[in-house]
Amino acid sequence: MLVMAGNVIRANGRGKVLNRGKTLNADRDIPLPDWCVALLVRRRATAKNRDGPIFPSSTGTVLEASNVRNRAWRPFVAHAGYEWGDLPDVPQDGRHPPRR
């Protein structure tokens, strides 16, 4: 089980900040398959900073969403053989598909 307790947003004039959400529904449990939980637990156990992000940047901070989209997601989609438009882009908030 993954506990979602907020997300990181870029706030004008403040940089990256933790957004805890507006409602009680912002904190929620997300069920994950056992194999995924096992991978995340192993990754956390071997992390340099066990209180930091599970997937940190090269400097140990939270990854920039635009970097994940441009450096990981889009190359993955291209390598997997999908054409533009076959798969939705990574949503800005990580939860909802982009509005068309």
pLDDT digits (tens, 9 = 90+) for 71-98: 888 888 888 887 766 665 555 555 555 4
Can you give the pLDDT at residue 41?
Answer: 92
Can you name the residues that pair with 7 across neighbouring β-strands? 19
Contacts of 4 (CB under 8 A, 6+ apart): 26, 27, 28, 29, 30
Pick 92 or 68 by higher pLDDT. 68
| CA 29 – CA 42 distance, rounded (Å) | 20
The count of other CB atoms within 10 Å of the CB of residue 65 is 19
Helix (H, G, I), strand (E, B) or coil at 83: coil
Can you give the pLDDT at residue 33?
Answer: 93
Half-sphere exposure of 20 (CA within 13 A, CB side): 2
**Verdict on whether the full-model pTM lies above 0.85:** no
